[in-house]
Chain A
């Protein structure tokens, strides 16, 4: 979708270095020189100890004490998630089960080093055996094992390089103890050879907005001093970039900085088509900071937090006070509140505590509320009362709507309480497939892409083993979204998207092309999505949507759209035009 004369491809191929692929975290790009984290310590030899068992125990106790003290010290310096993770690591080093395992080995004549190594390795194997999320925690245990062994042998703990010059950190994987103390002024980007999108490296990179590519196996071949471009948006690392590639990356970095620093304009496409950018909120506390970041309203306000810690439903007055705070923060703006979304997967004592074999397919969302209608009636009462006291534009929607009858039921009930705009979430393929008839029975639709993907692909969104199927780029998911977009246009009813998909700047273009009129996301994603949308016209967004719909799977849908956006970077058949310094 870029005109040919703005595109140029270097006549000669790059230096022959292969682009390294991984999983990108976020949208940033960075260029700089590699520094590698030191490689792991060698495995302690399995030889009999020359010391007495008591001597080994004493050495061990002092080493464990020192490591735990270091971890606790770092926990105090760290903030956010990192503090908890570091404290957990300190507890693991001092763990009683570990001590028993180590002690048995020392009793049998092992050195403290070997005993610790083997005991941690046993726990590590157990975790890897579980697969998925727990397997990704195995790195944490490796790090602890190395720290204790280093302390015992009197060598420095394996750790991060230090440099006065900013660098690209390349590591096998990063342990929480390391990521927590990264000097962000010096780290241009993080690259890990192992780890996955749910590893601590990925979580912390997201939290601190560090450019990162994880699970980049071939990054093992990078050496200290290599110049690389790390492109989180594309999930690639380009070793020894050409001058053209480097210039393009620098231009993107500058562009991104300008875009992020610019005052928040309303969401719109390049041709002026407005696409209001809303935020997803889980409590009223974050409302004012979201307004500061340019949120044009709330696209999804989850009300579960009001209920989760409670043994009984909160009173109408308690609820009303929360809704009042929220609506006051967004005076004059649209606020879409979702009524309680609970079920066997999010058990609430007063709502549903029956065991279900398939909670995602069971009595959850509107189904649970219909079986405890008093809770829904109280929530609607509190919402209508808060609305009457404030000036926001309150919309209320129901989760897990499967049928036209569900939509009509909820809309009718909401009207009974004086709710002016009542709508439904489209998360179930049945609702997407007959969206025209669903919309005829209600005021608006909001597409929940996480659940819609889960139900379309028959892949539990919390199960690591099927995580590869949880991809909102999949053309089957996009086609359903397109059905809803089309129904919105045909009926003249608003259609929005809330969920992770709207936070992906490239996918956001596709969603608009499919007919989404508003996008709702976490506040941190607003700036990138805003900039991305402003780079395309509605015709280009529709072209991107068509390209994605025609793909065979999620990865090729993404690649097809990326190729349209940045010809040459991922397009297998780049257009050859005279080089004038653009992307190659």
Chain B
């Protein structure tokens, strides 16, 4: 399991447009990623409705997770998660 916890930067949280940019980035990454708000239940990060339904606000902590196998591949996976973290910390509402 590779994880990243991050605070969301968009001023209105992860609603339609920022959620779309994030879900598209997940699709582009080509790996299965889950997203959870706080200590809540993780949902698939490739579902825009799933992501929106978490009701994530500006400043909320979210955790991205993906299966890792403890091998060197985990470094590559970590890099992918880091790129998704970038999308989450950006304020798309004031871009």
Interface residues of B in 1-58 (CB under 8 A from A): 7, 9, 11-13, 15-17, 19-21, 23-24, 43-44, 46-50, 52-53, 55, 58
**Cβ of B63 under 8 Å from chain A:** no
A97 in contact with B43 (CB, 8 Å)? yes
> A406 to B17, alpha carbons, bound, how many Å?
39
Which residues from chain B contact A322 at a C-beta distance below 8 Å?
none
Min distance, Cβ B6 to any Cβ of chain A, angstroms: 10
Q: Which residues of B contact A88 (CB under 8 A)?
A: 16-17, 19-20, 48
Number of A-B contacts (CB under 8 A): 75
Contact assessment for A133 and B15 in the assembled complex, using a CB-CB cutoff below 8 Å: yes
Q: CB < 8 Å: which of B11, B46, B53, B58 contacts A123?
A: B53
A345 is an interface residue with CB less than 8 A from chain B:
yes
Pair A133/B48 contact, Cβ less than 8 Å: no
Partner pick for B17 among A81, A97, A282, A347, CB 8 A cutoff: A81
Q: Which of B12, B48, B53 touches A127 (beta carbons < 8 Å)?
A: B53
Whether A98 lies near B7 (C-beta < 8 A) is no
Chain B residue with the shortest CB-CB distance to A353: B7
A362 to B80: give the CA distance in the assembly, Å. Answer: 32
Most buried by A among B19, B23, B47: B47
Is A87 part of the contact surface with B, judged by Cβ < 8 Å?
yes
**A347 and B52 in contact (CB under 8 A), knowing A88-B19, A308-B90?**
no
Q: Which residues of A contact B47 (CB under 8 A)?
A: 95-98
Query: Does B59 lie at the interface of the complex (its beta carbon under 8 Å from any beta carbon of A)?
Result: yes
Contacting residues, chain B, for A98 (C-beta < 8 A): 47, 49
> Residues of A contacting B44 with CB < 8 Å?
96-97
| B49–A308 CB distance below 8 A | no
Q: How far is the CA of A98 from the CA of B47 in the complex (A)?
A: 8
Q: Does A309 contact B (CB under 8 A)?
A: yes
Whole-angstrom CA separation of A127 from B55 in the bound complex: 7
- Chain A residues whose CB sits within 8 angstroms of the CB of B23 once the complex forms: 91
* Contact of B12 with A347 in the complex, beta carbons under 8 Å: no
Q: Flag whether B74 is at the interface (Cβ < 8 A).
A: no
Known contacts: A123-B49, A123-B53. The answer to whether A85 contacts B17 by CB under 8 A is yes
Residues B16 and A137 in contact, CB atoms below 8 Å apart: yes
A81 to B93, CA, bound (A): 10
In the complex, how many angstroms separate the beta carbon of B88 from the nearest chain A beta carbon?
11
Nearest Cβ on chain B to A130's Cβ, whole angstroms: 4
Check A347/B7 contact, CB under 8 A, given A97-B50, A127-B53.
yes
Residue of B nearest to A125 (CB): B53
Q: Does A84 contact B (CB under 8 A)?
A: yes
Q: Flag whether A153 is at the interface (Cβ < 8 A).
A: no
B44 CB, min distance to chain A CBs, angstroms? 7
- A110-137 CB mask vs B (1 if < 8 Å, else 0) is 0000000000000100110110011001
Please determine whether B20 and A87 come into contact, CB atoms closer than 8 angstroms.
yes
Task: State the CA gap A130–B14 with chains docked (Å).
Answer: 12
Set of chain A residues within 8 Å of B17, measured between Cβ atoms = 81, 84-85, 88
Cα distance, A98 to B94, chains bound together (Å): 30
* Chain A 59-80 interface residues, beta-carbon cutoff 8 Å to B: none
Find out whether the CB atom of A91 lies under 8 angstroms from the CB atom of B7.
no
Q: How far is the CB of B33 from chain A (nearest CB, A)?
A: 13
B49 with A95: CB separation less than 8 A: yes
A359 to B50, CA, bound (A): 28
- The answer to whether B15 and A134 have CB atoms under 8 Å apart is yes
A321 sits at the interface (CB 8 A): no
User: Shortest distance in angstroms between A137's beta carbon and chain B's nearest beta carbon?
Assistant: 6
Chain A, Cβ-Cβ closest to B7: A347
Separation in Å of the A276 CB from the closest CB of chain B?
Answer: 26
* Interface presence of A479 (CB below 8 A): no
Closest 8 CB pairs of A and B: A88-B20, A97-B47, A130-B55, A97-B50, A95-B49, A88-B16, A91-B48, A126-B53
30 A-B pairs with C-beta separation under 8 A? A84-B20, A84-B21, A85-B16, A85-B17, A88-B19, A88-B20, A91-B20, A92-B48, A92-B49, A95-B47, A95-B49, A95-B50, A96-B46, A96-B47, A97-B44, A97-B47, A98-B49, A123-B49, A127-B52, A129-B55, A133-B13, A134-B13, A134-B55, A137-B15, A137-B52, A308-B91, A347-B9, A347-B89, A355-B7, A462-B11
10 extra interface residue pairs, beta carbon distance < 8 Å, beyond A97-B47, A130-B55: A84-B16, A91-B20, A96-B47, A98-B49, A133-B13, A137-B52, A345-B58, A346-B9, A347-B7, A347-B9
Taking beta carbons and an 8 Å cutoff, which residues of B are in contact with A?
A: 7, 9, 11-13, 15-17, 19-21, 23-24, 43-44, 46-50, 52-53, 55, 58-59, 89-91, 94
